[in-house]
Amino acid sequence: MYEPIAIVGTACRFPGAATTPSKLWDLLKAPRDVLKEFPPERLGTAGFYSENGDMRGRSNVRHKSYLLEEDVRHFDNAFFNINPKEAADMDPQQRILLETVYEAFESAGWSLNDVENSQTSVHVGVMTDDYGFVQARDPDTLGGHAATGISRSILANRLSFAFNLRGASLALDTACSSSLVALHLAVQGLQRGEATQAVVAGTNLLMDSAWYVMASSMHMISPESRCRMWDKDASGYARGEGCAVLVLKTLTQAIRDDDPIECIIRGSGVNSDGLGDNRGITMPSAAAQTALIQQTYRDAGLDPVKDRCQYFECHGTGTQAGDPAEARAIRDAFCSDSEPSNKDPLICGSIKTVIGHLEGCAGLAGVIKASLAIQNKAIPPNMHFNNLNPKIEPFYSGLKVPTSILPWPETGDEPRRASVNSFGFGGTNAHAILESYEPSIARESLALPTVKLVNGVTPQSDSMEGTLTGPFVFSARSRGSLVDWLKQLLNYLRVNESVDLDSLSNTLHSKRSAFRYRTTIATAVDREDLIEKLEDQINIIGASPLRPPPASSTSEGASILGVFTGQGAQAAQMGFALMKHCKSFRESVMDCETALASIPNPPTWSLGEELAADPAGSQVSVARFSQPLCTAIQIGLVDLLRACGVRFHTVVGHSSGEIGAAYAAGLLNKRDAMGIAYYRGCVSNLARGDAGQSGGMLAASMSFATATALCSEPQFPLQRDVIWG
């Protein structure tokens, strides 16, 4: 039995404006008709239509299919550092894959730095390449980058190149099962240790009439463009387009890395129909599918009958050949004559009834639907199911097609389990088993600790939770993109009243790539306050030029000087408001306290208590208190600025401020910095001038204007050792 694989990130572009998994779930749980006519500038189908689908060069499908809402010609090539000439020759499938993979990384909480140069494998399933058909019709129009622009292999290789991924990189075509076969190969690579993480993708764009003509002549596609799974009026499948991406890790590694685990892949498998009596190459084999389902369950350590799934995501295309074969395969795989089952009916559905058949992307579309159903503990309905196909009736006992959303069947102590089935018209079958992620069960089975340690310290309750949240950090590679990003978040906040602002802040500053155009909202009291501040930011950025750092600057941003003061600037309860209201600052100071406690002969007092002490009882003016307190405050401010995307180009420090400056420069870690500050404070009272001499330092508080005027006086006594602050 192999280790389960965790799905830690998901992204999609599907018909019906389902451009995110959450939008897809909204569509699935309350499905609507999203069939669309082709825009005339995209594909003119009228000249290829004929009621007789057998006529050469004609299709009996009218002008509608399941299409993306977006214009697939649009592409931000500069974001991916692709020059315009090369981008012009690229198959739009390459473009949409790049965008969707980046969104999947964001879903996983990975920045580009996190994945760059990593042993990440890439597996892309694809069935059609319409753009290549179009380009090849007139060789005189082929551009200088056409070879890499339309080659299927580059669909995967482009992803590995653009994101600097070093694992296996392959595109594969097994027709409609392509993306689920790609998933199986990615799972195998992770289980064998060939990759540390994997990107699995599927893509399908409808841009040419050729596949409509070819599929019509084989009577595979529906003249009415409807996928009527298991319905007596099924007349073939309806073509659809889309792109889907999953990011995978072994379950053990995902738990250790604290990745967001959506669900787990318990097992996967692939086989082929082979040769059959009186069966052509495009006719599916129920026996082969049954064998694959059962073998996949056994390989995962499950009994197909006793441990069967509660939901089965069918291939479910709505063809008169494929539907009965799949229904029989499901019945034979999970039902045993020797062991009658008293279980509830096995619920069977297909995403194709809602968004069409995405061909090379269909398998992953089914996986994403099953994953969302598991996470939401509900099973979405099928569309276009009115009367059971008589050919399926002999196998329908114990099965059920939902026509309204259903609660997930009760599983007791067992995980929620779903099967996803897919088969290609050439005979390649693929199957995957998904399960809900149950943290306690997973940790116990993998012998992992049940309490996660953060920097070696057990998390403690937050006794100083404040009312302010932040910072909220935003960045993009252009001003227009930054404004669009702010608008997207603004629209999201307006319709989602239960947003966790603390989680949002953490995601924005810790789990996103940092680009050259940046803006920050320091704090927000609540959702309404953040909405108001986002509106202000959009108006400001949209109305004024926002320039990135000069080309000569480092990638860290503009040149910023940090000046760190020494002892003398301290005051009672300094930084206490930040401690109370800013989680990032508070956590940094608490880290300093933990570091201070780990040094030899540590202090018996607490940083947090001293910073919160009433002015009357504060010991902040005593050196052994003030120096570590000042250093902790400076470290907290440095960490807070870093969280906001601010990096110092140069730092300078005076006296004990040199410790904070050294930390900002990366020369000292927290433990060393706090240890130096504490020991320095403890021995500072031993410092004396030379015999017969006395001296001291004075820190005077005054305005900048007053200090400037004083320093400009010609009779200013420079011989005195005075530091003006």
| Residue pLDDT, tens place only, 328-356 | 999 999 986 555 555 789 999 999 999 99
- Residue with token string 């201070």: 596
Residue ranges matching CATH 3.30.70.3290 in the chain: 472-543
| Dihedral sign of CA atoms 102, 108, 110, 114 in order | negative
pLDDT band at 463 (very low <50, low <70, confident <90, very high): very low
In contact, 673 and 662? CB cutoff 8 Å = yes
pLDDT band at 53 (very low <50, low <70, confident <90, very high): confident
In contact, 244 and 24? CB cutoff 8 Å = no
Read off the amino acid at residue 547. Answer: R
Residue 631 has pLDDT above 80, yes or no: yes
Residue 448 has pLDDT above 90, yes or no: no
| Residue pLDDT, tens place only, 205-234 | 999 999 999 999 999 999 999 999 999 999
Ramachandran assignment for 105, one of left (phi > 0), alpha (psi -120 to 50 degrees), beta (any other): alpha
| Residue pLDDT, tens place only, 604-627 | 999 888 888 888 888 888 888 988
pLDDT band at 267 (very low <50, low <70, confident <90, very high): very high
User: CA-CA distance, 401 to 403, in Å (whole number)?
Assistant: 7
pLDDT at residue 201 in the model: 98
Tokens of 37: 């006519």
In contact, 97 and 161? CB cutoff 8 Å = no
Domain 561-687: assigned CATH number: 3.40.366.10
Tokens of 48: 């290829």
User: CA-CA distance, 177 to 184, in Å (whole number)?
Assistant: 11
Mean pLDDT, range 556-575, rounded to an integer: 80
User: CA-CA distance, 178 to 139, in Å (whole number)?
Assistant: 29
Residue 311 has pLDDT above 50, yes or no: yes
Percent of all residues in the chain with a pLDDT value above 70, rounded to a whole number: 88
User: CA-CA distance, 451 to 256, in Å (whole number)?
Assistant: 11
- Residue with token string 């649009």: 74
pLDDT at residue 581 in the model: 85
Residue 558 has pLDDT above 60, yes or no: no
- Residue with token string 């404070």: 681
Q: What is the CA radius of gyration of the chain?
A: 31
Q: In 66-111, where does DSSP find H-type helix?
A: 84-88, 92-108
Residue ranges matching CATH 3.40.366.10 in the chain: 561-687
Residue ranges matching CATH 3.40.47.10 in the chain: 5-444
User: CA-CA distance, 229 to 403, in Å (whole number)?
Assistant: 12
Residue 550 has pLDDT above 70, yes or no: no
In contact, 363 and 128? CB cutoff 8 Å = no
User: CA-CA distance, 111 to 92, in Å (whole number)?
Assistant: 24
In contact, 26 and 202? CB cutoff 8 Å = no
User: CA-CA distance, 405 to 417, in Å (whole number)?
Assistant: 17
Residue 264 has pLDDT above 80, yes or no: yes
In contact, 684 and 627? CB cutoff 8 Å = yes
**DSSP single-letter state for residue 644:** T
| Residue pLDDT, tens place only, 648-691 | 889 999 888 999 999 999 899 999 999 999 999 888 767 655 54
- Residue with token string 């995307």: 645
Mean pLDDT, range 470-484, rounded to an integer: 90
| Residue pLDDT, tens place only, 54-64 | 898 899 898 79
Residue 315 has pLDDT above 90, yes or no: yes
Q: CA-CA distances (angstroms) from residue 546 to 475, 476, 516, 520, 609?
A: 12, 11, 10, 13, 43
Residue 133 has pLDDT above 80, yes or no: yes
Tell me which of 3.40.47.10, 3.75.10.10, 3.40.50.300, 3.90.1150.10 is the CATH number of domain 5-444: 3.40.47.10
pLDDT band at 464 (very low <50, low <70, confident <90, very high): very low
Burial class (CB in 10 A: 0-12, 13-18, 19+), 209: buried
What is the four-CA torsion angle of 542, 545, 549, 555, rounded to 10 degrees?
A: 20
Average of per-residue pLDDT values in the chain: 88
pLDDT at residue 560 in the model: 85
| Cβ-proximal residues to 45 (8 Å cutoff; 6+ apart), any chain | 38, 59, 61, 62, 63, 209, 212
Tokens of 84: 């315009």
pLDDT band at 723 (very low <50, low <70, confident <90, very high): very low
User: CA-CA distance, 225 to 631, in Å (whole number)?
Assistant: 69
Residue 97 has pLDDT above 70, yes or no: yes
User: CA-CA distance, 243 to 155, in Å (whole number)?
Assistant: 12
Mean pLDDT, range 618-644, rounded to an integer: 89
Is the model more confident about 556 or about 226?
226
- Residue with token string 């959009």: 538
| Cβ-proximal residues to 37 (8 Å cutoff; 6+ apart), any chain | 63, 64
User: CA-CA distance, 412 to 254, in Å (whole number)?
Assistant: 26
Instruction: Assign 3-class secondary structure to 169-236.
Output: EEEECECECHHHHHHHHHHHHHHCCCCCEEEEEEEECCCCCHHHHHHHHCCCECCCCCCCCCECCCCC
**How do 120-126 and 169-172 pair as beta strands?**
parallel
Is the model more confident about 444 or about 43?
43
Residue 317 has pLDDT above 80, yes or no: yes
| Residue pLDDT, tens place only, 696-707 | 555 566 676 776
| Dihedral sign of CA atoms 289, 294, 296, 297 in order | positive
- Residue with token string 């906040």: 493
Mean pLDDT, range 259-267, rounded to an integer: 97
| Cβ-proximal residues to 23 (8 Å cutoff; 6+ apart), any chain | 17
Percent of all residues in the chain with a pLDDT value above 90, rounded to a whole number: 66
**CA terminus-to-terminus distance, the chain:** 68
Tell me which of 3.30.499.10, 1.10.1370.30, 1.20.58.390, 3.30.70.3290 is the CATH number of domain 472-543: 3.30.70.3290
Tokens of 165: 């991924």
